[in-house]
Amino acid sequence: MASQNPSQSTSQSSGPATGDQRLDKDTRETLVSVARHGLLLAWSFVVLFPLYWLASMSLKPPGQANALPPDWLFLPTVYNYIRLAQDGAFLAAFANSVVMVSASVVLVLLIGVPAAYVLSRYAIPMERDVLVWILSSRMLPPIAVVIPFFVIFRSLNLFDTRIGMVFMYVSINLSLVVWVMKAFFDGIPETLEEAARVDGATRFQGFRKVVLPAAKPGIFSVAIISFIFAWIELLFGLVLTNFEAVPVTLFVYSFIGSRSIEWGMLAAASMAMILPVVVFLIAVNKYLAAGLSFGVVIKE
C-alpha cells in the first residue's frame, strides 16, 4: 500500500521526514471510526445494561430474580406480568397516573403557553421579576414545601384527590413551560404576527393560526418533559395521597417492603411504567429534534 504513495516513498531517505511517521489517511480514518464506535458502544452499555437487567429480572421466576451470581440463561416467564395485570390496585394506580399526568400536561400547556407568549410579546411591567417569580416555585427543594402543601391540600379538601394531584403536577411543570416557551417565542420573528394582522387576522387569530403552528416543536418538547417529570414524581404522591389518587410510582415503591423486596414484581411494574413514556416519545418524535434546538425554528 505504501508503494502507491509517492510522498511516503520519497520521505524514507530524507532527514526530518514526517510523512513516514504518520499512518496512511485511510488507516487513520478507520482507527478514528473504530475508536468512536467503541466509545459509543461502551456508553450504550452503561445506559442500556440497567434496562436489560430490569427487563430480565421482570421475566425471571420468583426466587431466581435476585440470584447471585445472576442466571444469565433462564427460561423467561410472564408470571410477574400476569400477577401485575390481575392486581386491581396496580391497575387503579396506573390508570390514576395516566389520567392525572395527561390532564396536568394539557392544563400546564393551556396556562403556560399563552403566559409565555404574553411575556415574550407584550411589554409587561417588571417582566424580569415576574419571570424570576415564576421560576422561584422551583427554587426550594420539594421536601421543604411538601408539608405546607399537605396542610393546604387538607384544608382545601384536595388531599388524596386526582384533581389535587393534577394541580400539584401543574405547579411542578409550569415554570419549565413558561421559561422554555418564552425563549421559543422570542425566537419567532414578530413580523409573522404583524403579517397576519395586516392580512386581516386579529391578534388572537395571529397567535393561533401562525405563531402556535410555528411553535409546535417547542410545545411538544415541553409536553414530553412535563409528562416525564409528572410521571416519575414520587415525593408529593407519597405525602398528598392515601388511597384514591395513588400514582403508579407510589405503587411501584410499595414493593419495597420493610422486610423484603419483591424484586420480580418491582421489575415488572417498573417496565410497565416505562411503556407510556416510550409510546408518547415515539408519537411526538418528529417534533422533538427541532424542539430541542430551542428557538431556532425559522430560517431567514
Partner 1 sequence: MASITLDDVTKEFGDGGDAVVAVDDVSLDIEDGEFVVFVGPSGSGKSTLMRMVAGLETQTDGDVYIGDEIVNQLGPRARDIAMVFQNYALYPNMTVEENMSFGLKMSTDLSADEIEATVTETAEMMGIESLLDNTPGELSGGQQQRVALGRAIVRDPNVFLMDEPLSNLDAKLRTTMRTEINRLQSDLGVTTLYVTHDQTEAMTMGDRLVVLNYGELQQVGTPLECFYRPANRFVAGFIGSPSMNFFEGQVTDGTLVADGFEYALTERMQGNVGDRTAVTLGARPEDYTLSEAPTDNGFEVVVDVVEPMGSVSYVYVRSVAASHDETFVVEIDGQQPISEGERLYAHAPATDVHLFDTQTGETIHQRELTDDAEHALSQPLENASAGAD
Q: Which is nearer to partner 1, 116 or 210 (CB)?
A: 210
**Distances 213 to 180, 188, 193, 216 between C-alpha atoms, Å:** 16, 11, 12, 5
Site string for partner 1, 64-103 (x = CB under 8 A): ----------------------------------------
Please, which contacts does 79-87 make with residues 24 or more away whose CB atoms are closer than 8 Å?
79/264, 80/264, 80/265, 80/267, 80/268, 81/268, 81/272, 83/265, 83/268, 84/265, 84/268, 84/269, 84/272
**Distances 65 to 76, 78, 82, 211, 259 between C-alpha atoms, Å:** 11, 13, 16, 52, 17
Q: Is 196 one of the binding residues for partner 1 (CB under 8 A)?
A: yes
Q: Which range of residues in 13-21, 158-166, 192-200, 239-247 is near partner 1 by CB under 8 A?
A: 192-200
Q: Evaluate whether 253 touches 265 at the Cβ level (below 8 Å).
A: no
With 0-12 / 13-18 / 19 or more C-beta atoms within 10 angstroms meaning exposed / middle / buried, residue 228 is middle
Q: Closest distance between partner 1 and the C-beta of residue 202, in Å? A: 7
Measure the CA–CA gap between 236 and 209, rounded to whole angstroms.
38
Q: Closest distance between partner 1 and the C-beta of residue 129, in Å? A: 19
Q: Which range of residues in 105-113, 134-142, 185-193, 277-285 is near partner 1 by CB under 8 A?
A: 185-193
Q: Which is nearer to partner 1, 201 or 277 (CB)?
A: 201
Q: Which is nearer to partner 1, 74 or 287 (CB)?
A: 287
Number of residues binding to partner 1, judged by CB under 8 A: 22
* Choice from 210, 219, 240, 268 touching partner 1 (CB under 8 A): 210
Measure the CA–CA gap between 48 and 212, rounded to whole angstroms.
36
Task: Say how many CA atoms lie within 13 Å of 187 toward its Cβ.
Answer: 20
* Choice from 24, 29, 199, 244 touching partner 1 (CB under 8 A): 199
C-alpha cell of residue 251: 405503587
Touching partner 1, residues 259-278 (CB under 8 A): none
Touching partner 1, residues 36-65 (CB under 8 A): none
Q: Is 181 one of the binding residues for partner 1 (CB under 8 A)?
A: no
Residues engaged in binding partner 1 (CB under 8 A): 189, 191-192, 194-202, 205, 209-210, 213-214, 216, 297-300
